[in-house]
Amino acid sequence: DIQMTQSPSSLSASVGDRVIINCRASQGIRNDVGWYQQKPGKAPKRLIYAASSLQSGVPSRFSGSGSGTEFTLTISSLQPEDFATYYCLQYNSYPRTFGQGTKVEIK
Amino acid sequence: EVQLVGSGGGLVQPGGSLRLSCGASGFTFSSFWMDWVRQAPGKGLEWVANINQDGSEKYYVDSVKGRFTISRDNAKNSLYLQMNSLRVEDSAVYYCSRELGTPWGQGTMVTVSS
């Protein structure tokens, strides 16, 4: 199985900060990565697919990059509604696997 | 509106069975792969299974192979997850999803406990 190692597991940031979340795959997965936001009690919401494509309706402050084994989600200017948990997902092979999650908290 | 609505969760004893359903509306259900993802209380997301458009291809995470069966009825715009030989560690909120994209169902809670 492909392991997705996500870091950090949590972070504290202020409104307006630039936030970077990383995911490392245990083997090369081209650009078959998605990024998800989840708020408490709610279903996940996809932000990014194919490593860098923005899901329709998602604000442009979210961006993704990477290929192969290293992937990054960037929030260019953190907004109050962005405090949530974020997950990466690889869909290159089965079983699909998620990273452990990054909880973004208010500083 | 493109929507998925999950149902069928509940409390079941270890070794028991449960069938989850997911109703689709607002899109051509038969054109898409469908997935189940679960989340144990306070834990991260775990992909469980998926199925192709006509039901001829199915994939599972190892921990549920031989116990869970994913299926679909395109005439009823519905996705199913038959869960047998349930274990305490299967307790989770179960989400259905269209190709792990959008939309996702609201989640249905499964609790396995004696």
**Per-residue three-class SS string for chain B:** CCEEEEECCEEECCCCCEEEEEEEECCCHHHCCEEEEEECCCCCEEEEEEECCCCCCEEECHHHCCCEEEEEEHHHCEEEEEECCCCHHHCEEEEEEECCCCCECCCEEEEECC
Is A86 part of the contact surface with chain B (CB cutoff 8 Å)?
Answer: no
CA–CA distances in Å: residue B33 to residues A15, B3, B30: 38, 15, 8
pLDDT tens, residue by residue, A51-98: 999 999 999 999 999 999 999 999 999 999 999 999 999 999 999 999
> What percent of chain B is modeled with pLDDT above 90?
100
Q: Strand B3-7 and strand A62-67: pairing? A: unpaired
pLDDT of A58 reads 98
pLDDT at A106 over 90: no
Nearest CA in chain B to A44: B104
For the stretch B60-100, pLDDT in tens is: 999 999 999 999 999 999 999 999 999 999 999 999 999 99
Question: What DSSP line would sit under A30-55, residue for residue?
Answer: TT-EEEEEE-TTS--EEEEETTTEEP
CA distance B87 to chain A (A): 20
* A15 to chain B, closest Cα gap in Å: 25
Max alpha carbon distance in chain B (Å)? 40
For residue range B35-54, what is the model confidence (pLDDT) as tens digits?
A: 999 999 999 999 999 999 99
Q: Tokens for B14?
A: 């270890």
- pLDDT at position A107 is 87
Q: Which residues of A touch B107 (CB under 8 A)?
A: 43
Q: For residue range A5-41, list pLDDT tens digits in order.
A: 999 999 999 999 999 999 999 999 999 999 999 999 9
- Whole-angstrom Cα distance, residue A57 to residue A48? 11
In B, residues 52-91, which contact A (CB 8 Å cutoff)?
A: 59-62
Q: Kindly state whether A65 is in contact with chain B, defined as any CB-CB distance less than 8 angstroms.
A: no
